[in-house]
Amino acid sequence: MSADRKPNILFIMSDDHASHAMSCYGSRINRTPNIDRIAHEGMRFDNCFCTNAICSPSRASILTGKYSHLNGVKSIEDHFDGRQLTFPKLLQTVGYQTVIIGKWHLGHGGNADPTGFDYWAVVPGQGEYHNPEFYVMGELQRFQGYATDLITDFSLAWLRQRDKSRPFMLMCHHKAPHRLSQPDEQHAHLYEDVEIPEPEAFYDDYATRAQAAVEARMRIDRDMNDDVDLKGRPPEGLTPLELKKWRYQRYIKDYLRCVASIGDNVGRLLDYLDEEGIAEDTIVIYTSDQGFFLGDHGWYDKRFMYEESLRMPFVVRYPREIKAGSRMGAMALNIDFPCTFLDYAGVPIPDEMQGRSLRPLFNGKVPSDWRTSMYYRYWMHLDEHHNVYAHYGIRTHRYKLIYYYAQALGTSGSVEEARPPEWELFDLEKDPYELNNVYADPAYADVVQELKAELRRLQREVRDEPVHEI
């Protein structure tokens, strides 16, 4: 690559793929060799977080580099206004070919269709696993096959016909392993005779925790639909404990089967880069739009500020700058992604973007003024399916402070029914699984005050409005 040639960007993102279902992050339940390859040949980020753990808001933040309250997508029912500034539009100004294929989930029609892309083929809404429809440059078409394979097929087809004299930015965005996880035929019987280990917090009783955790409707043993989620009824005569175990095995195996398909297709893309001789010139990223509860706390889904939901997997390979097999512990956020892409493209990062370029971290250097805390806000109060309280909070390297303000505040998809507000504080060093709320513990009184002061500072920094607090 010539000195002035800009790197290609291959941005692979799945939906709801938790980092603890990736072997490069130490998974106890599966192996992901092709995703691991990116980490082993590049860098694994150990503290990458989303700013709002739900599909549409995270995607909007990645496009704009802005928090939900500024980009207009606070809930999954909000449509994205494509008239606003996004990183693909800016990449186009310096000669990049820009493409998105797969999941969009930001609305369709009017100003909600993808903008800033030379080519786009995206599934409507959540999309279908088998024989899915795609909007191809606005035209709805149905294709035969499995969604994960088709998204990769379309990505490879575009790569083969691209203008090789210009750099590209390809967003290959899978709908898998999002509920309702439906594996392909090849992986339908994977793990059939295997008992998947249960997570450490599988039997969480929420004893010290906020009412928000107690009332959430995300429990594997109570809230999953046997016919839809689990594709079958449990055997007769099971005890409540046996039923919970049975449901977990049914749920997690289909989830992991979908992950296996993603892994195979990541391998196809990496093989193409090798065959084409452009692996050295291409930044490859694998991530997910947020984390996911894999039986942790007895739950499925995301939304909460707890680790399994908040944490994003993030592995990146760029041989020209990133040392193979390196790890990074500094905090990265999803709003940093667009700033990073612009930095590599030589485009000034707009003032309205709230993230920072990760390029120094890619080079193994943490700037002295790098963030040591991050701000999170989930807006969708008491949605009809999951019943999660609206909340915001702060995470440092050691502590997490969460305030359940528990009001809809007019957010779409929310229920205008307030709940008593509550606080939670977790000492992540002593309690990594977040089972013991120490907010009321006198020993942490000074920590609480320090964290509240930092929370106020971050809210001012990101231009968000605090809610009346108890």
10-residue stretch averages of pLDDT, the chain, 470 residues long: 81 98 97 98 98 97 98 97 98 98 96 97 97 97 98 98 98 97 96 96 96 97 90 93 96 98 98 98 98 98 98 98 98 98 98 98 98 98 96 98 98 97 98 98 98 98 96
Torsion of CA 221, 222, 226, 229, to 10 degrees: -80
- Total-model pTM: 0.97
In the chain, what are the domain boundaries?
8-184+249-364, 374-462
- Please state which of the four CATH numbers 3.30.1330.10, 3.40.50.720, 3.40.50.1970, 3.40.720.10 is assigned to the domain occupying 8-184+249-364: 3.40.720.10
pLDDT score for 3: 55
- Terminal alpha carbon distance of the chain: 58
Indicate the pairing of strand 119-123 with strand 8-14: unpaired
Q: Which two tokens stand for residue 153?
A: 């097929």
């009184």: which residue's tokens? 445
Instruction: Indicate the residue type of 393.
Output: G
Q: How far apart, in whole angstroms, are the C-alpha atoms of residue 344 and residue 309?
A: 29
Q: Is 430 helix (H, G, I), strand (E, B) or coil?
A: coil
Q: Is 286 helix (H, G, I), strand (E, B) or coil?
A: strand
Angle, to 10 degrees, between the axis of helix 55-64 and the axis of helix 336-345? 30
């590599």: which residue's tokens? 344
- Fold: same for 8-184+249-364 and 374-462: no
- Could you tell me which residues are beta bridge partners of residue 26? none
pLDDT score for 2: 56
pLDDT score for 142: 98
Strands (E), 244-281: none
Instruction: Indicate the residue type of 110.
Output: G
Instruction: Indicate the residue type of 225.
Output: N
Picking from 283, 284, 287, 282, the residue whose alpha carbon sits closest to that of residue 262 is 287
Indicate the pairing of strand 282-288 with strand 8-14: parallel
Q: Is 213 helix (H, G, I), strand (E, B) or coil?
A: helix
The second-level CATH assignment, the architecture, of 374-462 is 2-Layer Sandwich (3.30)
Q: Do 73 and 106 form a contact (C-beta atoms < 8 A)? A: yes
268 burial (CB, 10 Å; 0-12 / 13-18 / 19+) is middle
Q: Which two tokens stand for residue 87?
A: 């990183």
Q: Where are the alpha helices (DSSP H) in 84-131?
A: 87-92
- Could you tell me which residues are beta bridge partners of residue 404? 422
